[in-house]
């Protein structure tokens, strides 16, 4: 089976840095995805980690530790438009993604 945990809600201040954690227990783990979903919209792909370490893409970075079953998404220089839900999803082999329940991030002034 698969178990994916992420905090339900987080609040952070505009201009700050926020880290959204995701822990998973998955047999045959292959890789971990992060998606962003604004209210009322479809999820959009942010990042994909297969190997341990940090992947940086502009203001967003994603980290993976396979041995610890742990990932985080780091958002820097927060903007109001970053208010959204962030979804962690894992895959094993060629099977479809399994999603966590998502973390709703509110960015306040």
Partner 1 sequence: DAGITQSPRHKVTETGTPVTLRCHQTENHRYMYWYRQDPGHGLRLIHYSYGVKDTDKGEVSDGYSVSRSKTEDFLLTLESATSSQTSVYFCAISEQGNSPLHFGNGTRLTVT
Cβ within 8 Å of residue 45, ≥6 positions away = 33, 35
- Minimum CB separation from partner 1 for residue 30, in Å? 6
10 touching partner 1, by CB under 8 A: no
CB nearer to partner 1: give 78 or 91.
Answer: 91
Which of 72, 90, 73 is CA-nearest to residue 31?
90
Residues 41-100 interacting with partner 1 (rule: CB under 8 A): 41-45, 48, 87, 89, 91, 93-100
Q: Which two tokens stand for residue 37?
A: 């979903």
Q: For the chain, what's the residue count?
A: 109
Give the residues lining the site for partner 1 (CB under 8 A). 30-31, 33, 35, 41-45, 48, 87, 89, 91, 93-102
């Amino acid at each position: 089976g698969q178990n994916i945990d992420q905090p339900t809600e987080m609040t952070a201040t505009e201009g700050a840095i926020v880290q959204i954690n995701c822990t998973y227990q998955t047999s045959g783990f292959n890789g971990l995805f992060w998606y962003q979903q604004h209210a009322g919209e479809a999820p959009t792909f942010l990042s994909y980690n297969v190997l341990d370490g940090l992947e940086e893409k502009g203001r967003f970075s994603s980290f993976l530790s396979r041995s610890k079953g742990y990932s985080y998404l780091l958002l820097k220089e927060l903007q109001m438009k970053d208010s959204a839900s962030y979804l962690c999803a894992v895959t094993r082999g060629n099977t479809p993604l399994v999603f966590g329940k998502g973390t709703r991030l509110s960015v306040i002034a």
